[in-house]
Amino acid sequence: MRESRLWFWHILSAIVILFLLGVHMGTMHLGAILTSIGIGSRDPVQSAEVFHRSQQLVYMITYILLLGAALFHGLYGLRSMLFELSLSKGMEKAIGSVCALAGIVLFIYGTYVAVRVFQMPQILAVLKGGQP
Amino acid sequence: MQNRLNNNLGFRGWVSGGRYGLDRYAYALHRLTGLGILAYFIMHIFVTGARLGGPGQWNSRMAFFGRPIFKLGEFLVFLAFAFHAINGIRLVIIELGYMLGKPGLPAYPYSYSTLRQKPLFVVVMLIAAALMIIGGANFYSTMR
């Protein structure tokens, strides 16, 4: 029952990732093509653009949602692959715990970064003033 | 547990498609690309953490990761993403029971689910290939 529920979340997180990461990858890696049709940016990793996006509420929420969905999807997938190696029950428990702990730590760190950068309005002002 | 031990292929089971055909290799590649994307994603969390240090720290980190070797790595991640995402759509469609056809008696010429979903497999691979080509064109234009 627990495994089927986790599998359900694995599929659901895949659908969430598909949309959010699709937009993210499009923005970051198809910029040159998208700008030719009038959308997106040619240099999306430029600091002014990065901080402009990071300081919008919708982006901050999106980052945190994507972070959670991708961590769960990726670490659950890794756990499933490792379980196929026919390990002992103790080893399976240890792997499950390490994956869960890693997921929680990375989620807390990523969320902290997203929220802290969102709360730094002075950065935008500095960038608008032309300072590096 | 005993059944799982009997079916154990070890690490070989992750990459070897054996005589099961293209679907099995797509399954193996889906997992390998998934591992690659996970490794990149964990690094990405720490790299983008440089935003905490402000624009100066962000710029210096981007200058470091702007080297051609990292750009190439980034492109490989994009290829992995294109395959994993589009093939993942196929897996979700099949997981929900679509495109498998109705079960029937085993009468000649035999029809089986992997054969019936082959058109879907071909279509998603073509979409993934198209996405990879578009991504490649984008990378090429930004590298010039």
* pLDDT tens column, B44-71: 999 999 999 988 899 999 999 988 899 8
Comparing A102-106, B2-6, B119-123, which segment has the lowest mean pLDDT? B2-6
Q: Does domain B19-143 have CATH number 1.20.120.920?
A: no
Question: What is the torsional sign of CA A101, A103, A109, A112?
Answer: negative
- B74 touching chain A per CB within 8 A: yes
The structural domains of chain A, with segments of one domain joined by +, span 2-128
> Which residues of chain B make contact with A71, given a CB cutoff of 8 A?
41
A113 to chain B nearest CA, in Å? 6
Say how far apart CA A70 and CA A59 lie, in whole Å: 16
E strand intervals along chain B: none
The structural domains of chain B, with segments of one domain joined by +, span 19-143
What's the complex ipTM? 0.86
- Give residues 5 to 34 of A whose Cβ lies within 8 Å of B: 11, 14-15, 17-18, 21-22, 25, 29-33
B115 or A15: which leads in pLDDT: A15
Site from A8, A10, A15, A29 to mutate, B interface, most B CB atoms within 10 angstroms: A29
**pLDDT at A113 (0 to 100):** 96
| CATH number given to A2-128 | 1.20.1300.10
* pLDDT tens column, A54-66: 989 999 999 999 9
**pLDDT at A34 (0 to 100):** 79
Packing angle, helices A47-54 and A89-118, rounded to 10:
100
B69 to chain A nearest CA, in Å? 16
Using 50, 70 and 90 to split pLDDT, how confident is the model at B98?
confident
Whether residue A11 and residue B92 make contact (CB cut-off 8 A), yes or no, is yes
**pLDDT at A37 (0 to 100):** 78
The reply to whether the predicted model has a pTM over 0.95 is no
Using 50, 70 and 90 to split pLDDT, how confident is the model at A132?
very low
CA-nearest of B15, B8, B12, B3 to A86 is: B8
> Which residues of chain A make contact with B36, given a CB cutoff of 8 A?
none
* pLDDT higher than 90, residue A15: yes
